Structure 1
């Protein structure tokens, strides 16, 4: 398995990138709305990792970072006027539409991120950690439990 020092982007760096994105966007921008929701979840995961609430912190960090990187890569693509993955396009295309409510933006981002990015992030994490997906099940379940408490 990979050693912790091989991680290129720790959770704190991901949180910093999300905070910088939040600071750069107007509050009602659809991406900003989703980013605030996702930032809150990522900060909560980080606190739980720091608090020893994951059986395998290295696996939790890897999964969390690989997952966040997929979102941040989609944002980067849209910023650079490249095409993000199709699941993200509605959020980016309608991000400034006055008829779309903040909850709709949050749900669009959640749908894209969980429905598309999560499975790919599990694969990315497994490649990084040289493990099978079943070995990430505890971390995956704990993040799911966290999401339920944040609802």
Structure 2
């Protein structure tokens, strides 16, 4: 008999993934409940690589929700819809993996495979999840969002400015998040480095999200052509998977 993918929390995970969050508060609730389950997964428990990413994702999404409550964004309808579409791709990948479906994106499979060991260091694990979610999921989530709103990805539009505002949220949260993945001796080195690591990683996130926007524009132009659309999907999945495997390799451990 095949061992359940989610071990002792299989039933709870299946129930959770059967739901589809319809707004940003529901996404935050979903991610919170998912985190509670991921830290129970044997054999790694609270060292689960996916939990390392999910914790970061939960922190950023909670900050987006706070921004919606405080009128931080010019077009909250756009940001809300994008947040839901973005999360849906993550949950869809988890659902496919849970079902043993070979259609699970390779960008995510390389991280999901590490849930049962061998252990991966926290910072590379979180980075691998960010890689899959931004480099692969985000362009398609943008396209779906713009199609739903009957708009399009235009540079310097209100939607684009709100999209760039998320970079500022990352910059605000990166220092605390990154230090949360470090051991005591690493924190000492980090202190000696000053703000260099925080600045560099903030710049990297901004660059990566800009590439995702450009890829969304490229996919938007071929959205009615199934063959070109599939080529773009495969291209982005393969590229993100290659980077994800590198991040989770011994070489990637140099990140931490």
Q: TM-score normalized by structure 2?
A: 0.54
Q: Which residue of 2 aligns with 1:20?
A: 33
| RMSD of equivalent CA atoms | 1.3
Q: Which residue of 1 aligns with 2:163?
A: 140
Q: Could you report, residue by residue, the CA deviation over 1:6-27 in whole angstroms, capped at 9, with x for unpaired residues?
A: xx71001111111111111122
Does the aligned pair in 2 maintain the 1:18–1:35 contact within 8 Å? yes
Q: Which residue of 2 aligns with 1:100?
A: 120
Q: Could you report, residue by residue, the CA deviation over 1:74-121 in whole angstroms, capped at 9, with x for unpaired residues?
A: 112112222321111110011232441011110110000011111111
Does the aligned pair in 2 maintain the 1:34–1:110 contact within 8 Å? yes
Compare CA radii of gyration and give the structure with the larger one.
Answer: 2
* 3-state SS of 2:116 partner: coil
Q: How does 1:108-119 map to 2 (within 5 A)?
A: 108-119=128-139
Q: How does 1:62-101 map to 2 (within 5 A)?
A: 62-83=81-102, 84-101=104-121
Shift of 1:29: 1.3
Distance 1:76 1:36 in 2: 19
Does the aligned pair in 2 maintain the 1:30–1:96 contact within 8 Å? no
Q: Which residue of 1 aligns with 2:187?
A: none
Q: TM-score normalized by structure 1?
A: 0.90
Distance 2:98 2:169 in 1: 30
Distance 2:118 2:84 in 1: 32
* 3-state SS of 1:13 partner: helix
Pairing 1:40–2:59 present: yes
Number of residue pairs matched by the alignment: 144
Pairing 1:149–2:172 present: yes
- Runs of 4 or more above 4 Å deviation: none
Distance 2:119 2:51 in 1: 16
Distance 2:36 2:63 in 1: 19
Shift of 1:70: 0.8
